Structure 1
Amino acid sequence: MRTSFPLHSPDFYAGDPYPAYRELRATSPVCWNDVIGFWALLKYDDIRFVSSHPAAFPPTKGINMPDGQLPPPVQENNLIFPDPPRHRQLRSLINSGFTRRQVAILEPGIREIVRATLDGLAPDSVHDLIEQVAAPLPIRMIAELVGAPRDDWAQLRAWSDAAIGTADSTTDLDPMAAAGGLYHYFRRLIAARRTEARGDLFSVLADAEVDGIRLNDEELLDFSFLLLAAGNETTRDLIALGTLALIAHPDQRRLLAEDPTLIPVAVEEILRWSSPVVHMARTATTDVEIRGRLIREGDVVVMLYGSANRDEDVFGPDAEEFKVTRHPNPHIAFGCGEHSCVGAQLARVTASAFFAELLRRFPELELAGEVDRMPATMLPVVKRMPVRLGTGR
């Protein structure tokens, strides 16, 4: 069944897609977009099915929604794209940097960066939360993780924003030049860690070995760009969207301010309710039927995580409500199956540290102007968000 909703349009996702999601889950949970040509999946179980069958729905031909003009970008050595068994080999090596033990080692540094980022914000004042917190915090964290000197953090953010496409439209930094700057910077950093390990993430990954195999420099470089795209942008969006959710639900925010032990559970609800990744795409390698719709070999399927994470069949009649005490919470904001997010635990720790410190300092929050969103189909990027930070006293 075709849908009249513009599921191919960046403007659609910059608005409020959730009423459309709700209608499509009820009427056409597997629907065809004939403007670009792809199947959209709206239901939780269907997305889990596709994600758990990588042979039938591999990411090797791209993970982005088709745009009708350019082929989707694919990096052969990027963890996201390869089929098993190559994917499992890369994932086993990269997992060494994201074990619970390794994340626990990193946690004090993350908390320090969160505190330092918030130190410049005065109580009962208005700030652009994106420019002053959500954008600089994740790039500082990533730079710290890989051992980049603090003097380089501002340059890394400028390169990252321009290369990934979240820089302000007034910037004169060319995206290709920015990507080149990042490439050469990370290559030098990797070479330095090959010579002298320092206990940072690059040092751990450079030394990682599984079945006698190590990551080569090109694989580490590809991972560094994945870390920037997945770690920087999704963390930025998680902070922004989570703060918006807390502003919109003052009763839930006050629960957390009064009882900070609830914050890890609340982070799961923020992930579910906000879904910092809009979609992932897969290309069918064989004919597969889903809910009576024939997905043919070569068809692209687009998994809409925001819809799945509010599926009434999984989360109940209150699926549209934001409840920071929701448990259990089997959301798929990090994806699922073989290609689920390798940095999920790190993202959880970072978000928990941020919201705990934010609400400790500023338990009262309110918007102080219009929220400016960037039209996009992959990430729900918030460009500007003026917020008044109140102490409640």
Structure 2
Amino acid sequence: MFETLRRAFRLPELRNRILFTLMMFVVIRLGTYIPVPGIDRAAVAQLVGKGGFLGLLDLFSGGGIANFAIFSLSVLPYINASIIIELLGSVIPALEELRKEGGKEGQLKIAKYTRYLTLGLAVIESFGILAIFRSYLSSTGLFVKLLIVLSLTAGAYIVLWLGEVMTERGIGNGVSLIIFSGIVSRIPVGVAQAFSLTQAHSLSVIGLIGGILGAIVLLLLVLFAYEGERKVPVQYAKRIVGRKVYGGQSTYIPLKLVQAGVLPIIFASTVLMFPATVSQFWSTSWFYVNIAQPLTSSSTLPHNVVFFFLIIFFTYFYTEITYDPIKIADDLKKYGGYVPGVRPGEATAHYIKNVLDRIVLPTAIFLAFLAIVPNIAMRNQQISAFAFGGTSLLIIIGVALETVQEIEAYMMMRHYKGFMK
């Protein structure tokens, strides 16, 4: 990976994209330290430090919640809006048609609908954050409350815009990189906390070493999952045009074990946080106390069980909407290709779908286990599992690998000789 980055910096256009992305990281980090007025930030930081739902929310915002900054909501409203739009696309024919057959114009319309929904969810979640910290307000006046809601909503929309700019002018997926930067920024805090607990004998040295070794094993397993692929052989028939013979070569369709990348984990995490955010309006209700709050604590059984099945669901869901076996089979038939031993057309589509089902299910279960095992292992420790949990490591590794692969693809597209050697 480091060799790839070194070679990437030799290409001026790619170097500018990487530097632009790093500059955006700086802007986003600054936004997590610009405070929203009208609230006791010290009391907020103390409450967030206790972990639970607020700890998970603070992790995704890169410390924005603890600082009660304008970027406290980060990209969570956008992710929730994306999930809702994707789910609606499966039941509303018009959205499904826009997504599959609308082309670039259809994608632009879906992006516009997502932005509108993001704005609405940002307002709702801002009121939810206000309800959580209502006892820490410097004034109970309407002006202060509206100022906080407007600041948080504007911050969420600015983060969305920055993510889109990063995707367009930088390298990698902007939204994923924003989450990545927020999680990475909390790791030094978690490391310092772990060493302080070790010195205070609240955490044993053996436990600390075991955690480090466990993280290394988790890293290797995730790398194996993300790099693995199933190769479907494809043979192209020979065609004679004049005196020349075309086709006849053998190739394959690479089906990645992790088709959807890190998105199912991000989606599953945000879905778990959304009920608790909304139910803060009724913080003493039965729903909040018995359902929403336990779902946001990584040490509870309900959280890990629901998180497990959500990862499996979103892995299948995202693979289904991004990988169309029928289209692949039609393209193969159109260009004279076929899978050896399988009839072209419908039989090929059925074969590819069966292959996808066989690799997606075990991979989804594997990733789900990796996400919940560290949470269970660290449930009795006095250190937050968020910074070192399976969710954080899976997101960090997944986003890093996807970004490096995009850099490599960019260099190959530009015929960078230093990389091709």
TM-score of the pair, normalised by structure 2: 0.27
Q: Say which structure is richer in helix.
A: 2
Higher RCO (CA < 8 A, seq sep 6+): 1
Which has more strand, going by share of residues? 1
User: Which structure would you say has the larger Rg?
Assistant: 2
